[in-house]
Amino acid sequence: MVDGQFNHAWSDAHGNLRGLECGGSIERYTYDAWGLETVGHDGFGYAGEWQDETTGLIYLRGRFYWPEIRRFISADRHPADFKTPQTWHRYVYCLNDPINSRDPQGEFAIGVTMGMTLRLLAFYSCIKFAANWYYDIRHMDMMRNMLEIRKRYKENATVVVHGVTEHEVNWSESFSDKIEKLAGNQDMYEFLWSGFQSGGFILFIPNHLSHTIAKSSLVCYLCELYMKGYAEVNVIAHSWGTVLSRDAMNYSGLSFGLWATMGSPLGQTHPLFQYRKWQNYFTLADPVTHLADLLVVMRFENDTVPLFQQLSGVEQHRTLCKNPVTAHSSYWTDPTVFNDLLTMLKWQ
């Protein structure tokens, strides 16, 4: 309602504003594939985003997009993916496919078909999925802000990555503080993401949208750690965090020191990134370590043979916990695991 007159807006599957009713009259808007208005107005329009009246730039939070030249006006913060040549251009919009993609954060393209799929889902499912997406983006912004204000004190950095379910800030404080104090050469960091969870409840099963957003956030996080001047960056990952870190490190094109995986659902895998040492900790009582075939079904993995059976490229360490109820969380308090990690990090 504006000035006593009812307003109603229409958008298409891409999110473009197509019509606006005000006071009984209807204005219609059209755009070309790249967002250049053929018939339009100032304000919200292409992809449902705000366009500046003076410059014609479209605000996408992370960057400004200029539809007239079909490019962003600043370079992409994320590293290029050698398997996706379109990412090698640092200013390209939506991987040069604006018909089938959107870029609501100015950081990575998301398929428009996802928006069309959401329209076909039940109302409750749509609300849950949208909430999860919001949580993913919120965590991405939070990680960026926390990293920017953090100063480097030690020679190396170690990042701890959690698994499914959302974690609070400082969730690994007892573990990380002891490593940082006793190793003497490590700045410890926590990487937080939604864990496929929002508002205290888990959404469906692990989904590729949330995983992709978290992966992009972790790639940026790891790159910025190296930009701070650390000689070596290590990653300690638990549960689904092992899947997330594997995919992010593959995508980053960087090399790493230690990669420690604990309670991993991965199947046998051969990382594309370079690393000095890879340690896998498991117990046969942990049900999560037997989920490789499920990851294949969900298209997160290609091998149904559990990671703990892999013989090449990784050192396997079996822990003694035999209680299936506590096995999956036991790695954080297992003294053998802690001392092993401490020794490797201390002598970097």
List, for residues 159-190, the tens digit of each pLDDT value.
999 998 878 889 999 999 999 999 999 999 99
Say whether pLDDT at 119 is over 70. Answer: no
Task: Find the mean pLDDT for residues 28-46.
Answer: 75
Say whether pLDDT at 246 is over 70. Answer: yes
Place of tokens 């919001």: 134
| Predicted pLDDT at 106 | 81
H or E element: which one contains 97? none
Task: Find the mean pLDDT for residues 98-108.
Answer: 79
Task: Find the mean pLDDT for residues 279-302.
Answer: 94
- Cα–Cα distances in Å, from 12 out to 31, 33, 303, 305? 11, 13, 40, 44
Class of residue 15 by CB neighbours under 10 A (exposed 0-12, middle 13-18, buried 19+): middle
Say whether pLDDT at 78 is over 50. Answer: yes
- Say if CB 294 and CB 263 are below 8 A apart: no
Report helix angle 173-183 to 335-346, nearest 10.
Answer: 40
Count other Cβ atoms within 10 Å, centred on residue 200.
7
Tokens of 269: 């895998």
| Predicted pLDDT at 183 | 95
Written out in words, the top-level CATH class of the domain with range 124-346 is: alpha beta
Task: Find the mean pLDDT for residues 132-152.
Answer: 71
| Closest CA relative to residue 76, chosen from 48, 109, 52 | 109
| Closest CA relative to residue 127, chosen from 49, 193, 201 | 201
Q: Model pTM greater than 0.85?
A: no
Task: Find the mean pLDDT for residues 41-60.
Answer: 80
Question: What are the residue boundaries of the structural domains of the chain, listed by start?
Answer: 7-113, 124-346
DSSP readout, 320-342? Answer: ----TTTGGGGGGT-HHHHHHHH
pLDDT confidence of 233, banded at 50, 70, 90?
A: very high
Amino acid residing at 192: L
pLDDT confidence of 321, banded at 50, 70, 90?
A: very high
Say whether pLDDT at 208 is over 70. Answer: yes
Of the ranges 17-26, 71-80, 97-106, 242-251, the best mean pLDDT one = 242-251
pLDDT confidence of 319, banded at 50, 70, 90?
A: very high
Report helix angle 123-149 to 112-120, nearest 10.
Answer: 140
Q: How far apart are CA 344 and CA 99, in angstroms?
A: 49
| Predicted pLDDT at 27 | 77
Pairing state between β 101-102 and 58-59: unpaired
- Better-scored residue on pLDDT, 30 or 71: 71
- Say if CB 134 and CB 198 are below 8 A apart: yes
| Predicted pLDDT at 115 | 46
Of the ranges 2-16, 98-112, 242-256, the best mean pLDDT one = 242-256
Say whether pLDDT at 97 is over 50. Answer: yes
| Predicted pLDDT at 188 | 96
- Better-scored residue on pLDDT, 99 or 80: 99
- Better-scored residue on pLDDT, 178 or 205: 178
Which range, of 5-9, 74-78, 325-329, averages the lowest pLDDT? 5-9
Place of tokens 């013989």: 311
CA pseudo-torsion sign 46, 51, 57, 60: negative
| Predicted pLDDT at 35 | 82
